[in-house]
Amino acid sequence: MQKFIRALFGRQQSGLVLVIVILGGILTLFAGSHPDPETGLAVNNFLNSYTLMQTATNASFIAIMAVGATMIIISGRIDLSVGSIYALSGVAMAIALRAMAPLGSLAAISSGLLVCLGIGLLCGLLNGLMVVGLRVHPFIITLGTMWILRGIAFVISKAESILVPDPLTDFAKSTIGLKPGLYPVPLIVMMAVTVVGMVYLAKTVAGRHIYAVGGNMEASRYSGLRIGGILIGVYMISGLTAGIAAFVGSAYYGSAACADATGYELYVIAAAVVGGASLSGGKGNAINATLGAVLIVLIRQSVSTLRLDQNYEWIIIGGAIIVAVVLDQINSRLAARRGRTI
């Protein structure tokens, strides 16, 4: 029994799940209730299927991007442009579909997905080529592309919100057999991206190379790894996940605008870091990134549920990032100390 408890709570995922459960319990306790319109029974304002599904939906867009961003952080780099890639992908998709109208349902969905994935990959490739080719710190490169890409989205959309075709919204808001008002597609996409990211990092040679580069780049270079190709690859994956999130998000909300995902860089990086990804590289995984995104969304929801000033959201999330980084540093020092004593 003692070994089971140690194994259960010794895993980082277990700690994140425990915090999420505790925070969910606090929300359940303070959220209040409302009468069900059909049965008249009291229904908790948080602990009900509609609120939980909406929470999962809100987390899904951040989590999808956090999986790609985690791979960049594992490699020892950073990407500040994911929110802008989201905006540009969504706007480009909406403009392209408007120009191609009318389209059938399948054609509209597949065309929209291809545009979003293509723009995301292209933006990621651009980031990777500049990081590797110009040898400028990724923070500066992606800070620049963050403004450039959002500026392009602003120019091509003329700062207007552009509607997407109804088949896309019908797809993203399909109930798939659930009760009306429950839309699980964003949740399903989030879970699929998380599983693919987990398998890619843990079970493939390319995933192992990302850990190797982030853990010790010089040793990786002497081992014959193509550092430049690996770094370009992780930026392309980050752009790809931003494109996926843009497709699902724009389809779900029915429109795309240049202001979409503004500030999501903070949430995505926070989700990865709170999920245990080390900013020094070599550590992190897709499942923790997704759990980190869920935790971040619950923190945001707690602020409104507890009727706190909305500005406290930024304070709490910023504090969570600092605490996560400090704990990671302490853990690394303890591990190094244990290694020296063996």
DSSP-assigned states of every residue in 198-222: HHHHHHSHHHHHHHHHHH-HHHHHH
Give the residue, 86 or 279, on which the prediction is more confident. 86
Mean pLDDT of 10-17: 70
Quote the pLDDT of residue 12: 61
Distance from the Cα of residue 145 to its chain's centroid:
19
**Euclidean distance between CA atoms 78 and 5, whole angstroms:** 35
Quote the pLDDT of residue 5: 44
The count of other CB atoms within 10 Å of the CB of residue 163 is: 15
Domain boundaries, the chain: 48-304+312-329
The count of other CB atoms within 10 Å of the CB of residue 55 is: 19
Q: Which of 81-90, 251-260, 306-315, 328-337 has the lowest mean pLDDT?
A: 328-337
CA angle 216, 264, 63 (to 5 degrees): 65
**Euclidean distance between CA atoms 234 and 229, whole angstroms:** 9
**Euclidean distance between CA atoms 315 and 64, whole angstroms:** 24
Residues 6+ apart with CB under 8 A from 134: 141
Q: Quick one: tokens of 283?
A: 């550590």
**Euclidean distance between CA atoms 64 and 234, whole angstroms:** 14
48-304+312-329 maps to which CATH number? 1.10.3470
b/e sequence 230-269, b meaning 16+ C-beta within 10 Å:
bbbbbbbbbbbbbbbbbbbbbbbbbbbbbbbbeebbbbbb
Handedness of CA 230, 231, 232, 233 (dihedral sign): positive
Give the residue, 33 or 63, on which the prediction is more confident. 63
Q: Which of 131-140, 300-309, 327-336 has the lowest mean pLDDT?
A: 327-336
Distance from the Cα of residue 26 to its chain's centroid:
24
Could you tell me what percent of the chain has a pLDDT over 70?
93
pLDDT digits (tens, 9 = 90+) for 176-195: 989 888 999 999 999 999 99
The rounded mean pLDDT for the chain is 89
pLDDT digits (tens, 9 = 90+) for 268-278: 998 998 888 88
Q: Quick one: tokens of 2?
A: 């003692």
